[in-house]
Structure formats: structure tokens, C-alpha cells
Amino acid sequence: MREAAAAEPRPYHHGDLRRALVEAARRILESEGPTALSLRAVAREAGVSPAAPYHHFKDKGELLDAVAHVGWDMLGESMTGAKQRAADLGSLMTEIGVSYVQFSQQHPALYRVMYDCSRDKDELPEGMQDNEDSAYCLVRETFRKVAGPEVPIVDIELATIAAWCAAHGLAEMSTFKQFDSLKIGLGGEEAFLRGVLGHLGMFQAGKPARI
């Protein structure tokens, strides 16, 4: 059927399959969810044999890593955008938190892969690693700026972890449809997110130093 998202020129043998496989995987994730994401299905979607991916990835896990990498990039851009859009220091963390959870709602299957594929290797997910510009560092640096120099480093670290836990927990919870009536009562999805985050200390607007 279809072989790639766009009819790009294929520079090589059968095309630049590595990218095509990652895109095929993302297509399957969005249309059929994480349980349908088998290596064979990805190969099928990309129009190659089940063994072809093994010339580009060591195993299924490495393919999922590549997919997760794309996800963390996208999430990082969302969060950076939210940080730049924030009106004042007091709302910085809230805006970043909301953008985090909204990303998880817009790409629930991808979000799942981003955590699952790293748990299998029990490593930290890519976006939580202490790299130069990981999403986690973005949050920590934001806390550092918001908190001021007198707050001990360990408190910055703990606050970052706490915020991440809260956002991740909310991301997982908000997928359950049982909260729908509460969401409606509050005036929509985003009001619900802000309502929950507002009960969580560091996300309270107008209290930048409260860490």
C-alpha cells in the first residue's frame, strides 16, 4: 500500500529505511495504539520484509528508542515554547506543567512508549537524563531561576523531581475517562489540569519562591 509519509527521493538501495521505519512506527502508534506496535507491523507498514529492520536496529527495543527520541524532542519543544510564552515568573512552572500534560494527551501512545522503552532497560527516560538540554534540565533551570540563589541545590533538585512526578502522574491519570464529568464541571480539560496542578505547591500561580 503506502510506503512512506511523503514521496521523498530515495537516495539508496530501497530507500533510507531507518527514517521510514520510525515514521511507520509513529503512524501505527497514532492510529492503532501501543499494543499494535510490533516489529513485523512496522516492517509491513514500511513495505519491507520482517527482517529488514535488523539492518538498522539491533532489536525492537532500539527501534522504540528511536521513536521515543522523536517524542522527547517534540515534548522538549512544547515545553520550551510554553516557557517562552509564560507571562510572568509566577506562572512559569504552571505553563510548563500544562504543556507537558497536554502533550501527553495529544500523543498518548507516543508518551507511553517514551517511558516504557526506557523502563525495560531500567534507565532513566531520555528526557529525564542530566544532559545539557534535556526536558528535565529545562525544568530544573526554571526552578533555579524562579527560586533565587539562596535556595539550596538539593531543594531545587527535590522540587524538580516533585514537579516531574506530579506532571507525569497527572499525564497518566488524565487519560482515564472517568474524570470527564469533573472536567466538564470545571469548564474543560485545561481547567481540570490547572485545578489539579494548583493543589500542588510549586505550580501555584503568583508564588514563585515557594519551593
Binding stretches for DNA (CB under 7 A): 11-15, 17, 38-41, 47-52, 54-56, 59-61
Closer CB to DNA, 47 or 201, in the complex: 47
Binder among 141, 179, 190, 205 for a second copy (CB under 8 A): 179
Residue 46 three-state SS: helix
Buried b (16+ CB within 10 A) or exposed e, 95-105: bbbbbbbbbbe
165 lines the binding site for a second copy (CB under 8 A): yes
Question: Smallest distance, Å, CB 79 to a second copy?
Answer: 16
Asked if 42 and 32 count as a contact pair (C-beta separation under 8 A), the reply is no
Q: Give residue for cell 499494535.
A: 36
Judged by beta carbon distances under 5 to 8 A according to partner kind, the member of a second copy, DNA, none in contact with residue 12 is: DNA
Phi, psi of 22 (to 5 degrees): -60, -40
Q: At what angle do helices 89-106 and 135-147 cross, to 10 degrees?
A: 160
Report residue 29 as a C-alpha cell.
502508534
121 lines the binding site for a second copy (CB under 8 A): no
Asked if 134 and 126 count as a contact pair (C-beta separation under 8 A), the reply is yes
Closer CB to DNA, 2 or 85, in the complex: 2
176 lines the binding site for a second copy (CB under 8 A): yes
Q: Report the interface residues with a second copy, using CB under 8 A.
A: 35, 115, 119-120, 122-124, 128-130, 154-155, 157-159, 161-170, 172-173, 175-179, 182, 185-186, 195-202, 204, 211
